[in-house]
Structure 1
């Protein structure tokens, strides 16, 4: 498989398949929703009956296709789509698969790990949090020490790609140590699955969640839980919520082929077209290669302007890149955002707790040609603001150095 840090495009891929968005639409340089293909949008022009056999067949194909991407050769896992945003699906996974007397070790290094901890608090589940701050990943040795110190921990919960900083967490080593210690791993792979490798033949996990509007390049409306069938069976009667009961959704889908409640029919139809384009591009390795190349072109160009990425190359994901805000007194993110939007690019504000930053996504229907245009738009925006250098403050750089680099 292509490594997460690889930068060469997929074989035969020259960026030509990434058509510009519809006239008047900006590029969405965010971690989802993101820029989708025109044919994906057009797939939503038909209405579907949620009970109709054609739509039930579409749902069955969706589930089967996602299991194929996850490497479910042994048939040990099943796919349960759920209406709502990614956060709905994370809460559904936690509320259904962590027993009420369970104890979760949450590996946090950003807003989404912290949101998992908050969710577990709402659910009344016992939890311990390993908080690594904004810059560094949790490592296997740390997880091992915490599991050894507390035998009551039943589950480890990890974020695959923490998009508040853009950090790519070492999910393979986390999975290995969790399995070795006889605990169960739950993964929030919301912004990673489909591009970053997550193959259940290689990564031992109880379940993971992702969403339609991320690396498969569909539109918002639903997410999905891919879990061991044994775990889904054991989840019966455990959920705190009717709507978020993964076991009940799974049971009804398997018995009737239908969603329990009104499904996002148009989003499902769009996702089926997005899956067709995904396979046409070359699947996970090709998608990763394009995103990684987008990241590398972006970072190189932004550095020429003086911008500094938050993370070292070792942990920088191909999903979204966080840059320190320039220290120049004339720089204002709000003005920068508006100028970028005028040029056709929607970027993302920062989500760090200590330093000022902003984020630029590398996923969706964008390629290296688009990323070069993004860099040019950043240069034009700085010029319009009267910012002649984009270097961050010394304090921001020093703050990043404080924790040191993990082994």
Structure 2
């Protein structure tokens, strides 16, 4: 099987050495594995830039959505829980799907998918309605690439409803985009192993303020997704309550080593920004238009409008690129026809330049002359 380059929001490509780290079998009670879990949890708290006195990391088996659901099911009070969801894309809408299944009271405050969450409207809602116990927002809405102002939102939450829990989905941003936990007043943040930290898919994690987490004991509506019970067992025994993703965690340990070797988060951010610059400038030179205007400064993923040409068919475009081992991603924006190109994972500027070459070749093969006409 040929290896493909993944320009998607996930799964993402990883290094060969990260894959090779999985070629070891360890038992869940093996002392080496227990130490690996301890090291990963400690390192993630460090990467968050917070003190282990105040915050802890709770890993959860499964994709990022598992950690999102774990936070919701564990932190919403059993009685009088009321959640405000700030939504401007597909991943924010998924919050609503989870909350509906959980059967809790919630309201979705919806914004345009190509705009940031409006802090003014958030303030009106927080002050105008009483009883909010939880507020949730996606940091990088990867259906479009919008980066939401989580710092301003967090400060408003703590000013207007100081006892509410503030939850940030930083699935595609943690490990690359600056996040100031203290200034943003974040209580719970989730991300996944196979995003900016470049591990393999298989587990996600929540970084939790300890006092908020312990205050939720007994609230969970799920056995396996109970963050408090998971944390308590990890603290007491160093072990997961149920079978852990051993190979994935060994890979993640190696991925964290490679992050350090690259120069840490700041250097990885530089690489991702350069990836983004190359693809944006190249696609614009071909005449493609980005979904977001210049008021946005996200660099995780970029959405491009379908070109207005009779010969363009996205399925054909996508398939032809895939035949060249270049995997892009469909758009999830409901009102706009677009596709997405991710800039994160084990991809480098040379990969972005080659992708541009492939786009040019595919457009030529499809009879679409470049640059595109207005």
* 1:201-220 → structure 2 map (5 Å cutoff): 201-220=182-201
Go from structure 1 to structure 2 and tell me whether the alpha carbon gap of 1:256 and 1:385 turns closer, same or farther (over 3 Å shift): same
**What does residue 103 of structure 1 align with?**
82
1:297 aligned counterpart, secondary structure:
helix
Give the Cα separation in 2 of the matches to 1:256 and 1:148. 43
2:85 and 2:96 in contact (8 A); partners too: yes
The 1:321/1:313 distance shift into structure 2, 3 A limit, reads same
- Aligned-partner SS, 2:168: strand
1:346 paired to 2:327: yes
Work out which of the residue numbers 87, 107, 117 in structure 1 matches 2:96: 117
Say how many residue pairs are matched.
371
Partner of 2:314: 333
Equivalences for 1:3-402 in 2 at 5 Å? 24-73=2-51, 75-100=53-78, 101-181=80-160, 182=162, 183-389=164-370, 391=372
CA distance in 2, matches of 1:311, 1:214: 22
1:198-238 Cα offsets, whole Å, 9 max, x none, are: 23233211111100000000000000011111122122111
Alpha carbons 2:168, 2:186 under 8 Å: kept: yes
Question: Where in structure 2 are there 5+ consecutive unaligned residues?
Answer: none
Give distance in 2, aligned partners of 1:158 and 1:134.
Answer: 13
SS of the aligned residue for 2:184 comes to: coil
Distance in 2 (CA, whole Å) between partners of 1:388 and 1:379 is 9
Cα drift, residue 392 of structure 1: 9.0
1:139 Cα deviation (Å)? 2.4
- Provide the TM-score with structure 1 as the length reference: 0.89
Unaligned stretches of 5+ in structure 1? 1-22, 394-407
Residues of 1 paired with 2:351 and 2:52: CA distance?
40
- 1:77 CA displacement: 0.8
Cα distance in structure 1, aligned partners of 2:371 and 2:144: 19
SS in 2 for 1:82: strand
Report the Cα offset of residue 389 of structure 1: 4.7
Once residues 204 and 355 of structure 2 are traced to their aligned partners in structure 1, the CA distance between those partners, rounded to angstroms, is 29
Is 1:139–1:174's contact at 8 Å kept on the other side of the alignment? no
Higher mean C-alpha displacement, 253-262 vs 139-148: 139-148
Kindly indicate whether the alpha-carbon contact (under 8 Å) linking 2:360 and 2:370 is maintained by their aligned counterparts in 1: no
Say what the alpha-carbon RMSD is for the aligned residues.
Answer: 1.4
| Counterpart Cα distance in 2 of 1:237 and 1:392 | 60
Query: Offset of 1:364 from its aligned partner?
Result: 0.8
Distance in structure 2 (CA, Å) of the matches to 1:390 and 1:310? 18
Other structure's SS at 2:183 match: coil
The Cα shift of 1:246 comes to 0.5
* Moved beyond 4 Å, runs of 4+: 389-393
Shift of 1:390: 6.7
Partners in 2 of 1:233 and 1:240 — Cα distance? 16
Over residues 137-170 of structure 1, what are the superposed CA-to-partner deviations in whole Å (9 max), with x where a residue is unaligned?
Answer: 1122111111000121122101010001111111
CA distance in 2, matches of 1:391, 1:118: 39
Deviation digits for residues 50-84 of structure 1 (CA, Å, limit 9, x no counterpart)? 11111000000000000000112262111000001
Q: CA separation in 1, counterparts of 2:202 and 2:325? A: 25
